Amino acid sequence: MTQGLMKAAAVQMVATPQPDENMAAARRLIGQAAQQGAHLVLLPEYWPIMGLKEADKVAHAERTGDGPIQAFMSGIAREHGIWLIGGTLPMAAAEPNKVLNTLMVYNSAGERVIRYDKIHLFNFTRGDESYDEARTIVPGSSVTTFEAPFGKVGLSVCYDLRFPELYRAMGDCALIVVPAAFTYTTGEAHWELLLRARAVENQCYVLAAAQGGQHVNGRRTWGHSMLIDPWGEIKSELPEGEGVVIGDIDLEHLQRVRDSLPALKHRKM
């Protein structure tokens, strides 16, 4: 990692109902990111399973430190010597027939650093489209950040993006991550707008890893994984299909933005 620079990558997938297929795809794409010099890699929401039915993920729920999905993430982080932010996986919840939609972070030694349970649960109905994550997911409650080698990273997932107060509660971050599975309808309308707003108002980098295509279950996701800088400029983007977006987290550029427009110091609330 060059002084002041850290290369970050977001993996875009079109996940299937089969975890083995998804892990094979993730292995290939994480490998591509590592070959391009990524120090940190972000997977999308629901990367291990996009079931035929909402409830399918319950059967794959894991407990902390135990299960094939966690073993995969730990192993591949260690194999490539990268920090891996593992999108989300289903974790066991206290409520029957429900899970927590959980983001796990692993360091370059494959050690689990922290977890974040998605707080805001998506609910949307328009015409034939209808989603209600609360039917199968228990919400988390804790704002979560961690210290990476280059600075503080704030953790969020998909629908969280619509709640700016969550990001303010994270404090001074160098990077905010947003693994997601935005629908095509809501993504086309609001995805880029919301991501760039979060980058500008928090004067930090935003890395978003999305599902991006037509899934076996009939759902179509928006894609457009991207890296955005603290001035709101998109540095790298992938519209659709599986692949990798990659770019530099430049701490000197971040500081120049904050020095030239010290908005964070001007806050009154």
The residues annotated as belonging to the active site are 45, 118, 158
- Residue 218 C-beta-side C-alpha neighbours within 13 Å: 7
The crossing angle, in degrees rounded to 10, of helices 19-35 and 68-80 is: 10
Under 8 Å between Cβ of 100 and 140:
yes
Torsion of CA 71, 75, 81, 83, to 10 degrees: -10
Amino acid at 199: A
The 10 Å CB-count burial string (b at 16+, else e) for 172-201 is: ebbbbbbbbbbbbebbeeebbebbbbbbbe
Distance, in Å, from the CA atom of 76 to the CA atom of 71, rounded to the nearest integer, reads 9
Sign of CA dihedral 33, 46, 193, 262: negative
Under 8 Å between Cβ of 117 and 102:
yes
Distance, in Å, from the CA atom of 117 to the CA atom of 157, rounded to the nearest integer, reads 9
Distance, in Å, from the CA atom of 120 to the CA atom of 146, rounded to the nearest integer, reads 20
CB atoms within 10 A of CB 202: 23
The 3-state secondary structure of 230-267 reads CCCCEEEEECCCCEEEEEEEEHHHHHHHHHHCCHHHHC
